[in-house]
Amino acid sequence: MKRKLSLLLVLTMLIGMITLTGCGKEAGNLIGVAMPTQSLQRWNQDGENMKKELEAKGYKVDLQFANNDVNLQIQQLENMISKGCKVLVIASIDGSSLTDVLKKAADQKIKVIAYDRLIMQTEHVDYYATFDNFKVGVLQGTYIEEALGLKEGKGPYNIELFAGSPDDNNAYFFNGGAMSILQPYIDNGQLRVPSGQTEFSTIAIQAWTSATAQARMDNLITAFYSGGEKLDAVLSPNDSLAIGIVASLDSNGYGTADKPYPVLTGQDCDKPNVKAMIEGKQSMSVFKDTRTLAKQVVDMVDAILQGKEVPVNDTETYNNGVKNVPSYLCEPVFADKNNYKELLIDSGYYTEADIQ
Ligand code: BGC
């Protein structure tokens, strides 16, 4: 009996050791990449680029998309932690809801890189890689300033303002950057906001949804532009909102000599939006080359795991409510129908067929 028991014990230990080492090998270089959703083109590209770049350097990748569902993203992160991922790269859905799960990661000494969107209210985020989000807004505001000739004193013009999702820290930076250019013209009367809706909380579109932006634009047109008032410009922080706004403009009869499309901004250079720029329905977008961001994050992962100094270029701008998170900011670039070929096609980001 005793011998049988000890044999059983030895066997159990052996199996345990095999599983552990097996697992260890598997997890030895496993990186978790958590993306918010597949519903928007950019996050698919981000995910694919990250996977490709990490695998090229010999890492294994657990890539997950969370369908814009915060609880699903938390579950995915918990799985990554229990699988033994060494680094988590996270583009959060709600930047403030990951505190508990990231505490678990920290307990396992797993490093965390916030990808594109800052993770808020936790000390357990080690690095942040993104584009200069304030500058994105400045590019949008400056485009409107130039298109309307505001510097030359022209106006008054009518503008309506949109902002991104209130649970995304980036949305405040985009808005801050754009308003740093536009607010002085609102103050001096060159720009008028007929709806009077300028507060972030009023103009924000939850979850960056096109349909919500479309519905808000419909309401604005009905309430403030149905008596022949001209709509000169719409500040849209990104392309998913711009698509909704264009749909609303189209269904309300814009795009004629009497009712031309207003100046309309965007961000991401999503394929439908590049088409809209070519057709003259959207004026500009901001190109954030996801290949650049992915490469940068892979360099960060590499440096972390090799114990080298992690490349950052900003340690002051991004405070998450608990600490300044060391960041690497990539450069966003202005795009419109005049330069999209050079930016997007010549660089191999899209093929001509992609945007036809
Ligand atoms: C990203 C934008 C994107 C938006 C909606 C932001 O956090 O920086 O590129 O358009 O989320 O997904």
- CA 321 to ligand 1 centroid distance, Å: 21
Domain housing 48: 2-125+289-327
Say whether both 54 and 139 belong to one domain.
no
Q: In the beta sheet, which residues pair with residue 114?
A: 90, 128
Which protein residue has the closest C-alpha to ligand 1 atom 6? 170
Q: Residue 356 burial by CB count (10 A; 0-12/13-18/19+): exposed, middle or buried?
A: exposed
* Residue pair 226/192 in contact by the 8 Å Cβ criterion: no
Q: Amino acid letter at 309? A: E
Domain-terminating residue out of 288, 305, 336: 288
Say whether both 165 and 206 belong to one domain.
yes
Closest CA relative to residue 344, chosen from 293, 281, 285, 297: 285
Return the pLDDT at 28: 72
With a pLDDT cut of 90, the percent of the chain lying above it is 91
Which ligand 1 atom minimizes the distance to the CA of 131?
8
SS (H, E, C) 127-154: EEEEECHHHHHHHHHHHHHHHHCCCCCC
* Residue pair 112/119 in contact by the 8 Å Cβ criterion: yes
> What residues does ligand 1 touch, defined as CB less than 6 Å away?
40, 42, 116-117, 168, 170, 208, 238, 240, 267-268
- CA 210 to ligand 1 centroid distance, Å: 13
Q: Is residue 356 part of a domain?
A: no
Say whether both 143 and 160 belong to one domain.
yes
Q: Is residue 341 part of a domain?
A: no
Say whether both 250 and 263 belong to one domain.
yes
- CA 91 to ligand 1 centroid distance, Å: 10
Say whether both 255 and 140 belong to one domain.
yes
Say whether both 266 and 138 belong to one domain.
yes
Say whether both 25 and 108 belong to one domain.
yes
- CA 154 to ligand 1 centroid distance, Å: 32
Report H helices in the chain.
Answer: 2-28, 41-56, 70-82, 99-107, 133-148, 169-187, 200-203, 210-224, 239-251, 271-278, 290-305, 340
Q: How confident is the model at residue 356 (pLDDT cuts 50, 70, 90)?
A: confident
Which ligand 1 atom minimizes the distance to the CA of 238?
10
Q: Is residue 190 part of a domain?
A: yes
- CA 322 to ligand 1 centroid distance, Å: 23
- CA 342 to ligand 1 centroid distance, Å: 23
Q: Is residue 346 part of a domain?
A: no
Say whether both 6 and 72 belong to one domain.
yes
Say whether both 151 and 275 belong to one domain.
yes
Which ligand 1 atom minimizes the distance to the CA of 268?
9
Alpha carbon distance 259, 16 (integer Å): 73
- Tally of structural domains, the chain: 2
- Over 50: is that where the pLDDT of 237 sits? yes
Q: Is residue 256 part of a domain?
A: yes
User: Residue 309: left (phi > 0), alpha (psi -120 to 50), or beta?
Assistant: beta
Q: What is the mean pLDDT of residues 231-243?
A: 98
CATH number of 60's domain: 3.40.50.2300
Q: Residue 6 burial by CB count (10 A; 0-12/13-18/19+): exposed, middle or buried?
A: exposed
Say whether both 198 and 166 belong to one domain.
yes
Q: Is residue 339 part of a domain?
A: no
Q: Residue 72 burial by CB count (10 A; 0-12/13-18/19+): exposed, middle or buried?
A: middle
Q: Is residue 337 part of a domain?
A: no
Which protein residue has the closest C-alpha to ligand 1 atom 3? 238
Alpha carbon distance 160, 195 (integer Å): 7
Q: Residue 294 burial by CB count (10 A; 0-12/13-18/19+): exposed, middle or buried?
A: buried
Mean pLDDT over all residues of the chain? 93
1-52 tens-digit pLDDT: 555 556 555 555 555 444 443 343 445 799 999 999 999 999 999 999 999 9
84-96 tens-digit pLDDT: 999 999 999 999 9
Q: Is residue 37 part of a domain?
A: yes
Say whether both 165 and 273 belong to one domain.
yes
- CA 238 to ligand 1 centroid distance, Å: 7
Which ligand 1 atom minimizes the distance to the CA of 130?
8
Say whether both 25 and 64 belong to one domain.
yes
Alpha carbon distance 289, 323 (integer Å): 28
